Amino acid sequence: MSTEQFRWIDGNFDKDDRRGFTVTLVEDCVDLAFSNSAVIGVVVDSIDPLNDPAWATIQLSGRAFVYKSAHVDPRWVLLRSNCIDGPHGPMDEYLVR
């Protein structure tokens, strides 16, 4: 599993829980990915000891749970469908690469 810290483009001032959503790179920040986005990874639990909501921990490779509504990279491998329910709906497990 490979993770990196990125700053949210909007600063995530509302402290939204964005775990399980996919992201795209915008300059040196990340934003939620949509159908026309180049997905770089998925938001996972923070590795920041201060848990600063302006920063996101992005999983770039390995197994990850992703919301069914999220746009995924076509190179990712679907391992299990509808395997857990998150606060924003059902999630699939992917091999992110």
Residue closest to 26 by CA, chosen among 17, 36, 13: 36
Which of 20-34, 39-53, 67-81 shows the lowest mean pLDDT across its residues? Answer: 39-53
* pTM of the predicted structure, to 2 decimals: 0.92
How large is the average pLDDT for residues 23-47? Answer: 94
Domains of the chain from N-terminus onward: 2-96 (2.40.300.10)
Tokens matching residue 48: 């920041």
Task: Estimate to the nearest angstrom the gap between the alpha carbon of 70 and the chain centroid.
Answer: 9
pLDDT value, residue 11: 96
Residue 84's identity, in one-letter code, is I
Cα separation, 71 vs 30, in Å, equals: 14
